[in-house]
Amino acid sequence: MALYENVTYDEYDIAEPKADSLIHSIRSFGYELSTAIADLIDNSITAKAKNVWVNFFWNGAASWIAIKDDGIGMTQKELIKAMTLGSKNPLLLRPANDLGRFGLGLKTATFSQCKQLTVGTKLKGENLVVRCWDLDYVSDCRQWRLLKQGSNNLEKEALEGLDQGTLVVWDKLDRVVDEEVKVDDDRAHGLFLEKASIVKKHLAMVFHRFLEGPNPLKIWFNDKLVSPWNPFLIDLKATELLTVEPLFINGKRIEVRPYVLPHHSKMSQEEHAYGAGTKGWNAHQGFYVYRNKRMLVAGDWLGLGFQKEEHYKLARIQIDIPNNLDQEWSIDVKKSKARPPQNIRQDLKRIAKLTRDRASNIYRHRGKIVSRTSGAEFIYLWQQSAKHGKISYKINREHPLVRECNNSIKGNQTLETLLKMLEETIPIPMILLNYSEQSDNIKGPFEDEPPKELNAVLENSLKALLNQGLMISDIKKRLIAMEPFDLYKEYVIARCEEFEEENK
């Protein structure tokens, strides 16, 4: 400020933002309906609400949405301030359990979806106070005129039954329903209900930690209680929690909890469907960032250089951050993004790698049968075949080791007879029974063999492929795409390179 201390009025112009243009610009923050409603529930939680009611009312073009809470409410002065754009300075220190930051959410979230915002609020023992923004009116009068009366729908969702609380009503939902649509338009009604159902699932996810545990927050969605969606399936015995690590940013502590979820063979169908969440198993892998227990990011590798791949889908890592690191994490107004600060990126990469490796082991170890039917370039020893609706298992005659055997015993039918016998007599019922009863006790490929044994098989396979006239670079690629060498990729690559050196 010191720089401009002596500036006089003839040395500046006042360039106030134009109400009618600005109010339309703030409609394009890029909220989804679900992130917009979550932003309002943030406010209810900060106001210590124990219950939040979200209701969607279908009435064609005049459909409306109400979000009501039994939090502490606001005085008239506080309400007017709350309705003002930029009502709080983002740089101010906030109480540790405050979910807000920018003083914008109520307005930006609302206007991303509708043109009329009415808020009714009351403190314990006080009367209801009401204020309303109507964007059509602001556009017409070109002034920031905050109306003292609002939607008629306010009365329908009245706060009368409550001692205290706040009710937000959204009318003129031009971004949710078509402005021309009729009440009896079944298709539009169906779409409206579908959008409501997406919102409900989103709330179950982002607020799950508030909805769990003793004395939980209750969110009622169209009068039904929302149950939490916990991405870590912590109630399942086979879910693994790896080492929990604290990390520090400017002396402030964050906590990282890496989970590896169970292989699907260890889950019931319902548990598996539950774990898939709103986006599906593959999309839900990665980091989950929570700010004051509120989920901001629901599975993302946070630009750390990892891709979402099928075999890492069991890796889900919880990160807890406080609300005094918002700048460092580049938190946005929508509370839907977070970027890790530079000084912890290496640590997060390390933790991600460990968790992904563990997740991939679990996925592969118990995931062979699935991959066997879908793999493209992978060379399997066993193949599934289905003829006349009956499934059988065959040994792949094109597998390099089988081909090599065949070549070396030219014309002799013993090998073919043996393979046929093996295929016809696999003890499938016994395997199935053992697998369902004690899957933990079934040995994986080369699980407890010393590397020496694996080495002998590797040497023979390598020779078999060389005999087929392949180059070592191709052999390397084929070996690591072959069971069981896919489990020991680095070892196999090193051996191939050594072999190349020896034979130069």
Ligand X SMILES: Nc1ncnc2c1ncn2[C@@H]1O[C@H](COP(=O)(O)OP(=O)(O)OP(=O)(O)O)[C@@H](O)[C@H]1O
Nearest by Cα to 121 from 155, 168, 86: 168
Q: Does 71 bind Mg ion (CB under 5 A)?
A: no
CB nearer Mg ion, residue 105 or residue 400: 105
Q: Does 87 bind ligand X (CB under 6 A)?
A: yes
How many residues contact ligand X, by CB under 6 A? 21
SS3 content of the chain, % helix, strand, coil (to 5): 40, 20, 40
Q: Which of ligand X, Mg ion, none has residue 71 at its interface (CB below 5 to 8 Å by kind)?
A: ligand X
**CA–CA separation, 160 and 236 (whole Å):** 43
Judged by CB under 6 A, the stretch of 14-22, 104-112, 230-238, 244-252 that binds ligand X is 104-112
Q: Does 43 bind Mg ion (CB under 5 A)?
A: yes
Least distance (Å) from ligand X to the CB of residue 169? 12
**CA–CA separation, 503 and 500 (whole Å):** 5
Binding-site string for ligand X from residue 345 to residue 364, where x marks contact by CB under 6 A and - marks none: --------------------
Edge to edge, the sheet with strand 218-221 lists 129-134, 116-122, 165-171, 64-69, 51-57, 218-221, 224-225
Q: Which two tokens stand for residue 69?
A: 């809470």
Q: Does 36 bind ligand X (CB under 6 A)?
A: no
Q: Does 27 bind ligand X (CB under 6 A)?
A: no
Query: Which amino acid appears at position 144 of this protein?
Result: W
Q: Does 400 bind ligand X (CB under 6 A)?
A: no
Least distance (Å) from Mg ion to the CB of residue 43? 4
Q: Does 102 bind ligand X (CB under 6 A)?
A: yes
**CA–CA separation, 247 and 250 (whole Å):** 10
Binding-site string for Mg ion from residue 102 to residue 141, where x marks contact by CB under 5 A and - marks none: ---x------------------------------------
Q: Which of ligand X, Mg ion, none has residue 166 at its interface (CB below 5 to 8 Å by kind)?
A: ligand X
Q: Among 34, 35, 44, 118, which residue sits at the site for ligand X (rule: CB under 6 A)?
A: 44
Q: Does 100 bind ligand X (CB under 6 A)?
A: yes
Residues 6+ apart with CB under 8 A from 175: 27, 33, 112, 113, 114
Q: Does 477 bind ligand X (CB under 6 A)?
A: no
Q: What are phi and psi of 121, to 5 degrees?
A: -150, 150
Beta strands in 23-90 (DSSP E): 51-57, 64-69
Q: How many CB atoms lie within 10 A of CB 290?
A: 19
* Residues forming the site for ligand X (CB under 6 A): 39, 42-44, 47, 69, 71, 74, 82, 87-88, 100-107, 166, 333
